[in-house]
Amino acid sequence: MKHDHNSHPEKNIGFAFFLKISFTLIELIGGYLTNSIAVISNALHDLEDSLSLGVAWFLEKIAKKESTPHFSYGYKRLSLLAALINAIILLIGSIFILSEAIPRLWSPEQSNAEGMIFVSIIGMIVNAIAINKVSKGSTQNEKIISWHLLGDLLSWVAVFIASIIMIFSTITILDPLLSIFITLYIFWGVGKNFKSTTMLFLQAAPESLDIKTVEGFFKEDKLVKDVHNTHLWSLDGESHVLSSHIVVSCEIPQNQVKTLKKRLKNKLLENNIKYSTLEMEFDDEPCKKFHS
């Protein structure tokens, strides 16, 4: 999936939020008219998603604020916090759906299949539009939300298939059975994103980049004699931060050291390391290494 790094996550998420909250109202009415527990269940799940999308949208907007003396890196980590909250909500929601769907394997209920088909078609269209919008982004928050929306889309596909089958047969067990498989799939996907988000929140190095790779970039330059005390973490899964000590020969003129530093920083920018601190050391001076 190709991501647009110039996209506006707060606009993408805001679009998905207003689209979802509007459709949730339609779902609740449709579930009541069709007497479909599956549709009402999806409506409640979408209401939960809409609320979490609202929180994500709000935090994403705040994350765009400029840095302050108190928040020197700005508010980018609020986007990561929103991703963590959304992942937790979706995991809890998946457990709830499983607790509701499993008992229905033994006591399924008959509903208005024709009405369910109509509502499910609208549900698939709405969620497909929302996924197309949010999936263009590259932030961790948007990735988590994409899983939200994918789960909703697959749920409506399940309702659509089950509704068609129920028109021509009495096999009502298909609805809860498909819901269980879909929920387990979403649970697995979000679980992976939850792990990566938690690691980023704990300031682990981003999955796409590690310290050895970055130090390798530095050592490729013939003027660099050694690299140590390198620390790498990410603000939001997209904007990374690095600090490192670069050792050079004491015989190098100062203008070459400045040029080297600029060259290394440009290399870091190519790898989404937007905030970097490089301490240039000469090989004839001691280094007070940092120990955590």
- Residue 119 · residue 39 · CB < 8 Å: yes
At position 26, the amino acid (one-letter code) is I
What the block records as the tokens of 5 is 């790094």
Reported as a single tens digit per residue, the pLDDT across 109-158 is 666 778 888 888 988 998 888 888 777 666 666 677 777 788 788 878 88
Share of the chain above pLDDT 90, in %: 8
Q: Which residue ranges does the chain devote to CATH 1.20.1510.10? A: 9-201
CATH of domain 9-201: 1.20.1510.10
* Homologous superfamily in CATH for domain 211-282: Cation efflux protein, cytoplasmic domain (3.30.70.1350)
Composition of the chain by helix, strand, coil, percent to 5: 65, 10, 25
Q: Please give the Cα distance from 168 to 115 (Å, whole number).
A: 15
pLDDT of 249 above 70? yes
At position 157, the amino acid (one-letter code) is V
Reported as a single tens digit per residue, the pLDDT across 47-100 is 767 776 777 677 667 766 777 777 777 777 777 787 788 788 778 877 877 887
- Residue 49 · residue 109 · CB < 8 Å: no
Predicted TM-score (pTM) of this structure: 0.66
